[in-house]
Structure 1
Amino acid sequence: MFYEDLSEYDYQGEDAFTDRASGFYALWYRPAYTRLNIGWLEAGKPYSTGAVPMMFVEKLKAVQEVQWVNVCLGVHECDLCPEEGAPEGNGEVRIPGGPGLAYAAPFLITHYVTAHGYRPPQAFMDAVLAVDLDAWAATRWPEVPFPWVPDDAERMLE
């Protein structure tokens, strides 16, 4: 699935966060913030390339260890890779940007950066680097590692 960087995300109307520890509990809500696409790449479509700071890559990987968003039952293979052995993804990541703004990236984004030289927009890289990873990693269900989950989010607790 291809979406231009910084275009408005409209793939799913709700954001659903799944508890990574159990893989079962979840919460979902209709976001009040604007979501912008980052890193939705597809073979045959142009994308920006270039070096990125190693600290950005490390932090992005660490964020993906603690946050699981919009996980789907099916998987999406990287179609930039040769067919055999292409990595797969089935979820997304949310990174808070400025007030009322979040970046929406596919879970394969780290692969795109490290294997295909993808260079996300600087605003996204700055937002990833600004994440308080210690606070996010310490978050335990029923809280989730994202600052703008509304109090009235629906929750599957059992």
Structure 2
Amino acid sequence: MFHEDLSEYDHLDDDTFTDPESGFYGTWYRPAYTRLNVGWLEAGEPYPTGPVPDGFVEKLKAVQRVQWMNVCLGVHECDLCPAGDEPPPEGNGELRIPGEPGIAYAAPSLITHYVTAHGYRPPRAFIDAVLAVDADAWASVRWPDVPFPWVPGDAERMLE
């Protein structure tokens, strides 16, 4: 599913965080922030390439270990990988990274693969936002809280 970097995200109306420990409990809400697409790549569509700053990939992986956003039952295979003996990596969710006030970046779960395997270079604003995440604080969050700072207090939570 291709979307231009920094175009407005419109795939889903609500954002849903799933508890990674149970895989069942969820928190969902209609975001009050604007979501901007980053890293929605597709074969045949051009994308920027180049190096990313030291520490970026590690921080992105740390976020992905603790944040389960819009996890779907189906999967999306990387269609940038050449056909071969090994199946391509699959993704089935998204990330939310807070940017400047009122902006959150919406990236597919395959974004780390795109950076490391295909040389994708996300927009500088996204890189800076990822590097600004306090990954240790996000990792310490326990259910029913979620590792993202802009969840409204009236978000619906499935607790049982």
- For the aligned pair, the TM-score class normalised by the smaller chain equals over 0.9
AA in 1 matched with 2:144: P
* Structure 1 stretches of 4+ moved >6 Å: none
State how 1:5-20 maps to structure 2 within 5 Å.
Answer: 5-20=5-20
Partner of 1:62: 62
- TM-score, normalization by structure 1: 0.99
Query: How far has the Cα of 1:76 moved from its partner?
Result: 0.1
Distance 1:55 1:74 in 2: 31
State how 1:1-158 maps to structure 2 within 5 Å.
Answer: 1-83=1-83, 84-158=86-160
Residue deviations 1:77-136 (CA, integer Å, cap 9, x gap): 000012341000000000000001000000000000000000000000000000011110
Is there any run of 5+ residues in structure 1 with no aligned partner, and where? none
Is there any run of 5+ residues in structure 2 with no aligned partner, and where? none
Distance 1:35 1:102 in 2: 5
Report % sequence identity.
Answer: 80
After the TM superposition, which of the residue ranges 89-98 and 47-56 deviates more from structure 2? 47-56
The total of aligned residue pairs comes to 158
